[in-house]
């Protein structure tokens, strides 16, 4: 899903935190958003995700305004994910169960994503008993299992050890190629953007300071 951002201004109190005239995010690739703390990365992702809707300007999804249809095709993973006090399996299966997906298919899809992210050994643990890094992996699995057209990730590897970071980056690349979805990922690690992203947008004080290929 191509994203078009036009004359976007977002203020908190009187401070302008986003100021973007025109920005296109390409369909079917991984786009990274980088920039210093407080540069507006999370705010921009929340605007795109439709959970921050108080702003001036327009965000278009494949040329269309935000709607219930777009909402169903979009998933956001927060930097600090919230998991239920249920098993990891139930946490990942939750969005599929909500959609009344048949039990066998749920089993199969959860296992598939569990394999991809190497978390099948966590399936019987409780969501609230996981480490920060494990929670991030489970939240990513819960997002992937829905097979969104637009996958939005806010620093999904921030709490992971270096070995897990590399593994998750590989899984994410593999997943994106497999499903062909559009991925927007916030990272303030330039090396990670280089490894992972087809395109990179760098924000500085709410403005696009760089937009291109690293």
Q: Which residues lie near ligand ADP (CB under 6 A)? A: 12, 17, 35, 37-43
42 scored as a contact of Mg ion (CB under 5 A):
yes
Q: Which is nearer to Mg ion, 33 or 92 (CB)?
A: 33
Q: Which is nearer to ligand ADP, 39 or 171 (CB)?
A: 39
Per CB under 5 A, the segment of 38-46, 64-72, 83-91, 121-129 that binds Mg ion is 38-46
157 scored as a contact of Mg ion (CB under 5 A):
no
Q: Which is nearer to ligand ADP, 39 or 192 (CB)?
A: 39
Q: Which is nearer to ligand ADP, 179 or 207 (CB)?
A: 207
Give the phi and the psi of residue 106 in degrees, each rounded to 5: -60, -50
74 contact, one of Mg ion, ligand ADP, none, CB 5-8 Å limit per kind = none
H or E segment to which residue 151 belongs: strand 150-154
Q: Which is nearer to ligand ADP, 91 or 193 (CB)?
A: 193
Paired tokens of 33: 């958003």
38 contact, one of ligand ADP, Mg ion, none, CB 5-8 Å limit per kind = ligand ADP
Per CB under 5 A, the segment of 34-42, 47-55, 63-71, 129-137 that binds Mg ion is 34-42
CA-CA distance, 134 to 164, in Å (whole number)?
10
Nearest approach, Cβ of residue 43 and Mg ion (Å) = 8
Computed on alpha carbons and rounded to an integer, the radius of gyration of the chain in Å comes to: 17
CA-CA distance, 66 to 8, in Å (whole number)?
14
12 contact, one of Mg ion, ligand ADP, none, CB 5-8 Å limit per kind = ligand ADP
Per CB under 5 A, the segment of 33-41, 69-77, 91-99, 204-212 that binds Mg ion is 33-41
CA-CA distance, 142 to 148, in Å (whole number)?
11
User: In terms of Cα–Cα distance, which of 73, 148, 83, 78 is closest to 119?
Assistant: 83
Nearest approach, Cβ of residue 110 and ligand ADP (Å) = 31
Burial letters 28-40, b for 16+ CB under 10 A, else e: eebbbbbbeeebb
E strands within the chain? Answer: 3-12, 15-25, 30-34, 56-61, 74-77, 150-154, 182-186, 199-204, 207-212
Paired tokens of 81: 């994910």
39 contact, one of ligand ADP, Mg ion, none, CB 5-8 Å limit per kind = ligand ADP
Q: In a 10 Å sphere around its CB, with 0-12 CB exposed, 13-18 middle and 19+ buried, how is residue 166 labelled?
A: middle
Binding site for Mg ion (CB under 5 A): 41-42
């Amino acid at each position: 899903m191509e994203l078009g951002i036009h004359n976007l201004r977002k203020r908190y109190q009187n401070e302008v935190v986003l100021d973007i005239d025109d920005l296109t995010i390409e369909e079917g690739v991984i786009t990274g958003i980088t920039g210093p703390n407080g540069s507006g990365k999370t705010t921009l992702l929340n605007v795109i995700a439709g959970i921050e809707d108080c702003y001036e300007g327009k965000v278009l999804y494949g040329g269309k305004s935000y709607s219930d249809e777009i909402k169903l095709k979009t998933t956001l993973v927060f930097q600090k994910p919230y998991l239920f006090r249920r098993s990891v399996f139930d946490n990942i299966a939750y969005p599929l169960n909500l959609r009344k997906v048949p039990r066998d298919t749920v089993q199969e899809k959860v296992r598939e994503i569990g394999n991809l992210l190497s978390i099948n050994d966590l399936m019987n643990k409780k969501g609230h008993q996981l480490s920060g890094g494990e929670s991030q992996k489970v939240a990513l699995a819960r997002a992937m299992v829905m097979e969104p057209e637009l996958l939005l990730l806010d620093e999904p590897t921030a709490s992971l050890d270096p070995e897990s970071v590399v593994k998750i980056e590989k899984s994410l690349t593999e997943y994106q190629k497999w499903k062909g979805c559009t991925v927007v990922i916030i990272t303030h690690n330039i090396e990670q953007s280089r490894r992972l992203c087809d395109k990179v947008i760098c924000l500085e004080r709410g403005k696009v300071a760089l937009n291109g290929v690293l």
